[in-house]
């Protein structure tokens, strides 16, 4: 559920670009960090999910992701505090705009 919330909170779609972007936000904008991020995805077997992406989708999204990496890392590092990956329940009744304002989240488009 934390991953799905991160998609919404950080404004990431489910394209390859969106999946790559949400991973960067998770690593740099939450307390999870790189290794715990990898462990969580392995535990959830998230890498085994089949993705019906054609060659053009892969090519376009990888290219877009390469240009977004530094922007996403900068914006994640500019957050006023990290998004609580495991303890997000208090925010379930708070609007996304209020959460983004509190954490200084500026989504990358």
Q: What is the pLDDT of residue 64?
A: 85
Q: How far is CA 25 from CA 9, 16, 29, 55, 56, in A?
A: 10, 14, 5, 25, 25
Per residue in 30-55, pLDDT (tens digit) is: 998 888 777 776 666 555 555 666 77
pTM of the predicted model, to two decimals? 0.81
Q: What is the pLDDT of residue 36?
A: 79
**What is the residue-averaged pLDDT of the chain?**
86
Report DSSP letters for 9-62, one per residue. HTT--SSHHHHHHHHHHHHHHSTTHHHHHHHHHHHTTGGGS-----HHHHHHHH
Cα 42 to Cα 102: distance, rounded to the nearest angstrom: 31
For each of the chain's 109 residues, which pLDDT tens digit applies?
A: 888 999 999 999 988 888 889 999 999 999 988 887 777 766 665 555 556 667 777 788 788 888 899 999 999 999 999 999 999 999 999 999 999 999 999 998 7
């Amino acid at each position: 559920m934390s991953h799905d919330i991160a998609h919404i909170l950080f404004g990431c779609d489910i394209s390859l670009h969106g999946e790559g972007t949400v991973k960067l936000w998770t690593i740099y904008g939450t307390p999870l960090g790189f290794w715990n991020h990898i462990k969580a995805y392995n535990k959830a077997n998230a890498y085994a999910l089949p993705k019906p992406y054609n060659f053009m989708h892969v090519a376009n999204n990888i290219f877009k992701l390469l240009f977004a990496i530094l922007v996403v890392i900068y914006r994640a590092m500019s957050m006023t505090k990290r998004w609580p990956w495991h303890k997000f329940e208090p925010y379930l009744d708070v609007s996304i705009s209020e959460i983004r304002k509190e954490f200084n989240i500026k989504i990358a488009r």
